[in-house]
Amino acid sequence: MDDTVGPERWGAVDRYLAGLLIAPDPALDAALESSAAAGLPSIQVAPTQGKLLHLLARAVGARQILEIGTLGGYSTIWMARALPPGGRLVTLEVNPRHAEVARSNIDRAGLTAVVDLRLGPALETLPALEREGQGPFDLVFVDADKPAIPEYFSWAIRLSRPGTLIVVDNVIREGAVIDAGSEDPNVQGVRRFYEMVAGESRVSATAIQTVGAKSYDGFALALVEGDSSRTEG
């Protein structure tokens, strides 16, 4: 194996691809800068991943998008821009500081009228969405605390319809996902998620390993094929 192939090369390739395939964007750049200035962790999706979410939203013709885990709103902006006129994105964030920064970034991008940011634990705000009759959502992006991914996935199906695409980020954990004996709650949360997906007849799913500016990780894609839990009473 070439000794030069590793995180430094992965990041360089990401920058090369982004430089060619993603046009300069003041609002997205400002979202990254303001998030860093506010001390938010640099765990948002990479630009190439942000554009992937944008393209997926367009590919499925999403009119309603649900995001679990807002952080500074970087991925929120990417997905909200894919919506057609009248489209709506609901994003859930538990940290008040993160939500404050995200609101500012979303407003700067001119998307305040499109994005509904809900503050609070997702396992409290998700039932509220159901009570309000929100959805079904056409695209769901899960990028929040990993121990609760199985619960978020259950709610994603519940708030979906046949044809909904569910994307779950950070599901490889630098390969630690194969360690059944791991004591890391993030790894165990991801493993429980995979076990749930494997036994879920209403979805067809796969997972992709990725390398890049965010090192070694990956994401899962699940297409809802059967009736969602909402239709089961």
Rounded Cα distance between 230 and 107, Å, is 33
Q: What is the pLDDT of residue 2?
A: 58
Beta carbons of 220 and 179 less than 8 angstroms apart: no
**CATH number of residue 168's parent domain:** 3.40.50.150
Q: Note the pTM of the prediction, 2 decimals.
A: 0.94
3-state SS class at 80: helix
Q: Would residue 209 count as lying in a domain?
A: yes
Q: Which residues of 195-219 are buried (b: 16+ CB within 10 A; e: fewer)?
A: ebbeebeebebebeebbbbbebbbb
Please state the rounded mean pLDDT for residues 205-218: 93
Q: What is the pLDDT of residue 213?
A: 86
pLDDT digits (tens, 9 = 90+) for 20-35: 999 999 999 999 999 9
Is 227 a residue whose pLDDT tops 70? no
pLDDT band at 226 (very low <50, low <70, confident <90, very high): confident
Is 86 a residue whose pLDDT tops 90? yes
Query: Which two three-digit tokens encode residue 148?
Result: 């609760």
Please state the rounded mean pLDDT for residues 66-70: 98
- The range of the structural domain enclosing residue 172 comes to 7-232
Number of domains in the chain: 1
pLDDT band at 188 (very low <50, low <70, confident <90, very high): very high
Tell me the CA distances in angstroms from 117 to 8, 9, 65, 100, 102, one per residue in order.
Answer: 35, 36, 12, 10, 9
What mean pLDDT value characterizes the chain?
A: 94
Q: Would residue 61 count as lying in a domain?
A: yes
pLDDT band at 45 (very low <50, low <70, confident <90, very high): very high
Q: Would residue 1 count as lying in a domain?
A: no
Who wins on pLDDT, 107 or 135?
107
Q: What is the pLDDT of residue 181?
A: 96
Is 92 a residue whose pLDDT tops 80? yes
pLDDT digits (tens, 9 = 90+) for 123-132: 999 999 999 9
